[in-house]
Amino acid sequence: MTDAAVRSPKPSTSKRTPAGGAPVAPHTAEEASEPRIDRDAVTDLLLGTWAETRREAREMVKDPAFWRVEGMPMPEHRERVLAQLRLLVENGASGRAYPVEYGGKNNNGANLAGFQEVVLADPSLQIKSGVQWGLFGSAIQQLGTKKHHDAWLRDVMTLDLPGAFAMTETGHGSDVAAIGTTATYDPETEEFVIHTPFRGAWKDYLGNAALHGKAATVFAQLITGGVNYGVHCFFVPLRDDEGNFLPGIGGEDDGVKGGLNGIDNGRLHFDHVRVPRFNMLDRYGQVAADGTYTSEIDSPGRRFFTMLGALVQGRVSLDGAATTGTALALHIATTYANQRRQFDSGAGTDEVVLLDYGKHQRRLLPLIAQNYAQFFAHDELLRKFDGVFSGEHDTPQEREDLETLAAALKPLSTWNALSTIQECREACGGAGFLAENRLVGLHQDLDVYVTFEGDNNVLLQLVGKRLLSDYAKQFKGADAAKLARFAVGQTAGKVFHGAGLRQLGQAVADFGSTARSVELGLRADQQHELLAGRVEQMVADVAAALRPASKLDAAEAAALFNAHQAELIEAARAHGELLQWEAFSDGVNAVQDEGTKRVLTWLRDLFGLHLIEKHLAWHLINGRLSTQRAASVSRYIDRLCLRLRPHAQDLVDAYGFAPEHVRAPIASGAEQARQDEARAYYDALAASGDAPVSEKSLKKKK
Amino acid sequence: MTDAAVRSPKPSTSKRTPAGGAPVAPHTAEEASEPRIDRDAVTDLLLGTWAETRREAREMVKDPAFWRVEGMPMPEHRERVLAQLRLLVENGASGRAYPVEYGGKNNNGANLAGFQEVVLADPSLQIKSGVQWGLFGSAIQQLGTKKHHDAWLRDVMTLDLPGAFAMTETGHGSDVAAIGTTATYDPETEEFVIHTPFRGAWKDYLGNAALHGKAATVFAQLITGGVNYGVHCFFVPLRDDEGNFLPGIGGEDDGVKGGLNGIDNGRLHFDHVRVPRFNMLDRYGQVAADGTYTSEIDSPGRRFFTMLGALVQGRVSLDGAATTGTALALHIATTYANQRRQFDSGAGTDEVVLLDYGKHQRRLLPLIAQNYAQFFAHDELLRKFDGVFSGEHDTPQEREDLETLAAALKPLSTWNALSTIQECREACGGAGFLAENRLVGLHQDLDVYVTFEGDNNVLLQLVGKRLLSDYAKQFKGADAAKLARFAVGQTAGKVFHGAGLRQLGQAVADFGSTARSVELGLRADQQHELLAGRVEQMVADVAAALRPASKLDAAEAAALFNAHQAELIEAARAHGELLQWEAFSDGVNAVQDEGTKRVLTWLRDLFGLHLIEKHLAWHLINGRLSTQRAASVSRYIDRLCLRLRPHAQDLVDAYGFAPEHVRAPIASGAEQARQDEARAYYDALAASGDAPVSEKSLKKKK
């Protein structure tokens, strides 16, 4: 255990310039440390399109009133977060997305950007805000019409009307179309009767339902004139001013959860509760006084998905918040790893800084690269979201693309958040397990992100089906010759234009890899080719496997699909990874500063190679990499880690977090102070001549 | 989302017997469901050598007084667990390992087996018991001598003397040899002066330190006559009967942690605290009245590792507790997956049971296989532990083997626990996030198992070094020809005899794979060849890479080692996986009942193939698998999942948990009741003629 170390590299002034004058890839850590990133510029890059709003939000949450208090019992935590929501209102942070006439700013991108930063204060606050203004309020805004906006939006913004978003039921989560709650129109009284006919139809897991919600947007099967028109949304008052349930309404507290215990999740049930016809949020479907149903969207399926799609912002928001939460964990663990020492190297030197260990570099650096990729990909997603919801690019095609993009990115970023935070917690040892150092709390709070607002596997399956249908469109009426041509030549960018895949617009300058032949085969365009080729091939393979389905009966076809479900989900994951890689590359290409560009290019390469290594067996089996080249992937990653090691602190400092955002004692400099104190003690002891000699050295003398 | 399903297979009475009369591998789920396991017999198998003690412990913790109460604030939780420790004493469960003369049973294997089951009640209780009786008490027993046993062991057992195990410091965790606390002998007063000279030398993360500990076994650098004899252990009183710190002693509370909040972890510091010479636990090293140091073990290094090795039981115990905790999570998630339905298959049938989805089978079944492997491997470890500590097989070689085995298995089982519990939690969706369903609590509590009692990566590095040194021993004085012969022919079993590798004693009957050529290449002996060959090759590769080290200076040699640190850790992991696979195979081979043997053989195959798939790129790059055979691995896993699907419930029922151990509402049958109620509602509605027609069906009629 005591002979494992390299020393932290020292800055060098040597410069290698080859005969031709072109830059040569540095091969040693000393050389790699020469270029430096422009930290402030990288912070701007990561904060993205709505950097100003993000900075405002970060400034706001420097106030300790917004901070999570570790170990606070659930009841107090819930009240604290409710009070924090009021603080958000006071700070004008509650309504950036709402129409100007109700006090909002009509700025959808900025709104989500601002809320995502709140995760730094307390994820419970971010999610409870999301319930109030992103789900409950958005349902009114997106699914309701002007009369509903006039009636409720102002009170939603000010929190005078706290509400729950009552979609999920105990018996139905991802399959919203099959919920059991009914809203039956009664033309006699011009009312809807809201009813949960069995236990499985109870609304469940709803924030604001256990305590604070005065009303709810309730999703129910709309039944009028003996016909079920599918799921629609209704505004249903829940509690009186004293907080008591209104007649016919009951509920339960979901109690303690794995995290997010500042939110009062609960269950609701309705026993023939009557609400006026007015309360149906009727933008996409209307019921006349006599019970006649009308809708602009004739297809029940398309209408359902249009309504759900109007609520996509939850997924967009989770993608961003998970990315920021992951960054916080990486900042903490990397800062600690740069100060903490453990074991001497056996070379008679000081104990070794954790990040100088090869394994520790391998644990953290690829995760920083992955997190950077998520930042760039998220900004693209947020811009697409803003384009659609501002009305600037609001077409059905754009909406569908947005939904697919959100469904591809949210699973990856939320899963990455959990695995990265866990790795960070383990990399900090026992200190990482203390709540004060925040890593365990982040993991607990972000845990549910992977299954809410769409279970990650279900979302990826949606993406997979979109990829399959884009693929199939190419072959409408195609002959065998065309199919064969496709199989050998077509590029992914041409096939999947709809879902965001594209060719790189230019040859990416790859400063890090001109000198070594092995790296020559793994430069940016080869990375892209491997990643894109994998998506293309996987989709084609699943499509080929499913081709017989059209000739089977429904049960056999379902069984066939089921046999390939896991592969389809894998294809969708590969697609999401490619999107992240492309976004990262686009971001790097736009950088002007040479040092920044060089280091970020290495980081992008590390991300690309990390993805290729993860799926190395696939690339080998499918003949995309020779065994020789495949073997070089891991070695190249090792070299990239060594190159990037001197930049690790810069890269996590570039997240731009202030001490008020980090708040982890182990990342505060306290560890450095302890190391310095210990070394000063031993130095003084040695100088004093009173230091005990070691038994070992005595034995050697004998 | 609505077309993904196969129906749950129905029992079939058909029997396939080929011409020759030998059994043929079933190819369909219907056939696979024919053999059934003998559930009770499998429970016996899993409970292992000390089944009786485990059953006693399980019976005891059926009492709700032992159960974790979700959401209980930390202060109450700590007092509750302390009271539970007293209950353990009353139940005679506290001292199975102690000598008979102090009221114990001198039964080391049974002792750990019993404690591991307590994880079902509350992991805080398991770990706080471990602190008191497994660490604090064991230090006195293993590192002290009869006078110490006489003085303290009885009070340790009865909890009249609750204590802390003060080894780890804020500044030194895994590197115990470098701790800063000193114990300086003063011959004038015949006392040791215990002192923490700087902040980093404070003892930290110690259970029982924040509140309940009256004394501690403190590890410190022993200094006498101006010589530092390295780390030794001292019994130091901490608090008076009112719970106040004694003079010179201070401390801090570690506060809220990521889990295990029923334990009062804290920090201790000592300001020249004097304890009598008597208090040095002096089994392996003694200080005479005049300050002369003596020890039977001349080498300071060997003495240090002997003392640490005496405390190996912590690692053994965590391996078992992690395995049992993982089983509980799998029982909960699998039971739910067998009752919960979501989405109809598009084939006009009922909604589909989760476990009938291909992806869901892929998520859970390999984890059940892995958990079974852990049970078998743990029983081997526990028998080895008992052999050494009972004195029956107590040789230095056996001790070293035990330590290596524990260091190889504990990392795998504790990491597997976290990833499995997390997968289970996600597989249960929102319900999995509720504390009442226990998965989040299990993850939180078991989180720290991966970094305490030896950080997992540090332990694997130890194993790696042992593998390297075993490997090197083969070549002492060997010539080039011998080296070459080795490279082509030698089997792992012959090389690594010390560390537990062996050849399978017999050809394993592989009932599941006689019929298909692809499977013929992936039967038990090929699985073993691939897994063992990988360990051998990886160790040889690292050894070859490190060979130049002997010619380098210390710093360069350290850098070279560091460059291969991650590979060495991977090699050790591969070794641990092989040991698990071998233990599973040995267990299966001993089964007599044919149905049980067949199903468990499939499960063992699934574990083997799961490992091979995980490292598929390695097998391809190193020419161990052709691309064609590699491609078949995943398909074979799919088939094994389909075969095992009808046995999933049996396999998790065979863990033998009673409702008092499970306690998760989603695994209680409540979900089945909800499903039944919902279907009864819809059936009655349909029968009544009042059911609304769907808009879709109306549109079709038009």
pLDDT at residue A476 tops 60: yes
pLDDT at residue A136 tops 90: yes
- Residues of A with Cβ-Cβ distance to B554 under 8 angstroms: 345-348
pLDDT at residue B213 tops 80: yes
Q: Are A38 and A596 in contact (CB under 8 A)?
A: yes
Q: Is the same domain home to A613 and A469?
A: yes
pLDDT at residue B41 tops 90: yes
Say which residues have a Cβ less than 8 Å from residue B687's Cβ, sequence separation at least 6.
Answer: none
Minimal Cβ distance to A558: which of B345, B451, B557 = B345
- Residue A672 domain-assigned (yes or no): no
- Residue B534 domain-assigned (yes or no): yes
- Residue B379 domain-assigned (yes or no): no
User: pLDDT, tens digit, for every residue of A435-459?
Assistant: 999 999 999 999 999 999 999 999 9
Q: Of the residues A143, A158, A173, which one is the last residue of a structural domain?
A: A158
Q: How many CB atoms lie within 10 A of CB B520?
A: 12
- For residues B524 and B528, what is the distance between their CA atoms, to the nearest angstrom? 6
B295 is in which domain, residue-wise?
Answer: 164-302
**Mean pLDDT estimate for chain B:** 89
Helix (H) or strand (E) holding B451: none
Minimal Cβ distance to A562: which of B5, B71, B675 = B5
- Residues of A with Cβ-Cβ distance to B635 under 8 angstroms: none
- Name the residue with higher pLDDT: B239 or B629: B239
pLDDT at B669: 95
pLDDT at residue A621 tops 50: yes
Minimal Cβ distance to B678: which of A71, A171, A228 = A171
Q: How many CB atoms lie within 10 A of CB B636?
A: 22
pLDDT at residue A18 tops 50: no
Minimal Cβ distance to B228: which of A356, A638, A694 = A694
Which segment of A361-370, B230-239, B316-325, B536-545 scores lowest on mean pLDDT? B536-545
User: pLDDT, tens digit, for every residue of A554-565?
Assistant: 889 999 999 999
pLDDT at A7: 32
- For residues B421 and B77, what is the distance between their CA atoms, to the nearest angstrom? 23
Q: Is the same domain home to A514 and A615?
A: yes
Minimal Cβ distance to B227: which of A71, A178, A692 = A692
By C-alpha distance, which of B669, B660, B657, B672 is closest to B331?
B657
pLDDT at residue B348 tops 90: no
pLDDT at A472: 86
Give the CATH number of the domain where residue B128 resides: 1.10.540.10
| Residue of chain A nearest B685, judged by CA positions | A197
Q: Is the same domain home to B134 and B170?
A: no
pLDDT at B510: 33
Q: Are A106 and A98 in contact (CB under 8 A)?
A: yes
- Name the residue with higher pLDDT: B93 or B511: B93
- Residue B189 domain-assigned (yes or no): yes
Query: With an 8 Å Cβ cutoff, are B566 and A358 in contact?
Result: yes
List the single best residue of A195, A256, A284, A635 to mutate versus B (max B Cβ within 10 A).
Answer: A256
Q: Is the same domain home to A134 and A193?
A: no
Query: With an 8 Å Cβ cutoff, are A429 and B455 in contact?
Result: yes
- Residue B682 domain-assigned (yes or no): no
User: pLDDT, tens digit, for every residue of B127-163?
Assistant: 999 999 999 999 999 999 999 999 999 999 999 999 9
- Residue B630 domain-assigned (yes or no): yes
User: pLDDT, tens digit, for every residue of A62-104?
Assistant: 999 999 999 999 999 999 999 999 999 999 998 899 999 999 9
pLDDT at residue B514 tops 70: no
pLDDT at residue B104 tops 50: yes
Q: What is the rounded radius of gyration, in angstroms, for the C-alpha atoms of chain B?
A: 28
Minimal Cβ distance to A71: which of B255, B430, B613 = B255
List the single best residue of A565, A611, A682, A683 to mutate versus B (max B Cβ within 10 A).
Answer: A565
Query: With an 8 Å Cβ cutoff, are A562 and B344 in contact?
Result: no
Q: Of the residues B158, B175, B205, which one is the last residue of a structural domain?
A: B158
ipTM over the 0.90 cut-off: yes
What are the start-end ranges of the E strands in B25-168? 163-166
| Residue of chain A nearest B570, judged by CA positions | A359
Residue type, A343: F
Per DSSP, what are the bridge partners of residue A250? Answer: A269
Query: With an 8 Å Cβ cutoff, are B1 and A175 in contact?
Result: yes
List the single best residue of B1, B68, B414 to mutate versus A (max A Cβ within 10 A).
Answer: B1
Question: Which two structure tokens, joined as six digits, stand for A85?
Answer: 């929501």
The total number of structural domains in chain A stands at: 3
Q: Are A621 and B630 in contact (CB under 8 A)?
A: yes
Q: Tell me the average pLDDT across A631-646.
A: 94
Burial class (CB within 10 angstroms; exposed 0-12, middle 13-18, buried 19+) of B257: buried
pLDDT at residue B492 tops 80: no
Minimal Cβ distance to A433: which of B180, B258, B343 = B258
| Residue of chain B nearest A180, judged by CA positions | B678
pLDDT at A700: 77
Query: With an 8 Å Cβ cutoff, are B300 and A696 in contact?
Result: yes
- Residues of A with Cβ-Cβ distance to B694 under 8 angstroms: 227-228, 230, 300
Q: Is the same domain home to A154 and A168?
A: no
Burial class (CB within 10 angstroms; exposed 0-12, middle 13-18, buried 19+) of A576: buried
Query: With an 8 Å Cβ cutoff, are A457 and B699 in contact?
Result: no
Minimal Cβ distance to B620: which of A357, A620, A694 = A620
- Residue A387 domain-assigned (yes or no): no
Which value, to the nearest 10 degrees, does the dihedral of the CA atoms of residues A428, A429, A433, A438 take?
Answer: 0
pLDDT at B141: 96
Q: Is the same domain home to B296 and B185?
A: yes
pLDDT at A17: 33
Give the CATH number of the domain where residue A195 resides: 2.40.110.10
pLDDT at residue A174 tops 50: yes
| Residue of chain A nearest B561, judged by CA positions | A4
Query: With an 8 Å Cβ cutoff, are A620 and B638 in contact?
Result: no
Distance from B439 to chain A by nearest Cα, in Å?
A: 8
pTM of the model: 0.92
Strands A266-270 and A249-253: antiparallel
Query: With an 8 Å Cβ cutoff, are B254 and A434 in contact?
Result: yes
| Residue of chain B nearest A198, judged by CA positions | B678
Q: Is the same domain home to B294 and B207?
A: yes
Question: Which two structure tokens, joined as six digits, stand for A674?
Answer: 């302890």
Q: How many CB pairs under 8 A join A and B?
A: 348
Q: Is the same domain home to A153 and A211?
A: no
User: pLDDT, tens digit, for every residue of A392-410?
Assistant: 999 999 999 999 999 999 9
Distance from A211 to chain B by nearest Cα, in Å?
A: 17
Q: Is the same domain home to A217 and A86?
A: no
Q: Tell me the average pLDDT across B227-255.
A: 97
Distance from B620 to chain A by nearest Cα, in Å?
A: 7
- Residue A483 domain-assigned (yes or no): yes
pLDDT at B27: 46
User: pLDDT, tens digit, for every residue of A487-533?
Assistant: 444 433 333 333 333 332 222 333 333 334 455 668 899 999 999 99
Q: Is the same domain home to B93 and B215?
A: no
pLDDT at A479: 59
pLDDT at B490: 39
Long-range contacts of A559-562 (CB under 8 A, 24+ apart): A559/B5, A559/B6, A559/B7, A561/B3, A561/B4, A561/B5, A562/B4, A562/B5, A562/B6, A562/B356, A562/B357, A562/B358
User: pLDDT, tens digit, for every residue of A264-273?
Assistant: 999 999 999 9
Distance from B328 to chain A by nearest Cα, in Å?
A: 17
List the single best residue of B614, B639, B695, B698 to mutate versus A (max A Cβ within 10 A).
Answer: B695
Query: With an 8 Å Cβ cutoff, are B429 and A455 in contact?
Result: yes
By C-alpha distance, which of A431, A181, A409 is closest to B204?
A431
Q: Of the residues B91, B124, B158, which one is the last residue of a structural domain?
A: B158
pLDDT at residue B630 tops 80: yes
pLDDT at A507: 28
Q: Is the same domain home to B149 and B171?
A: no
Q: Is the same domain home to B493 and B596?
A: yes
pLDDT at B478: 60
Query: With an 8 Å Cβ cutoff, are B300 and A344 in contact?
Result: no
Q: Tell me the average pLDDT across A468-489.
A: 64
- Residues of B with Cβ-Cβ distance to A183 under 8 angstroms: none
Query: With an 8 Å Cβ cutoff, are A630 and B620 in contact?
Result: yes
pLDDT at A668: 96
Query: With an 8 Å Cβ cutoff, are A347 and B555 in contact?
Result: yes
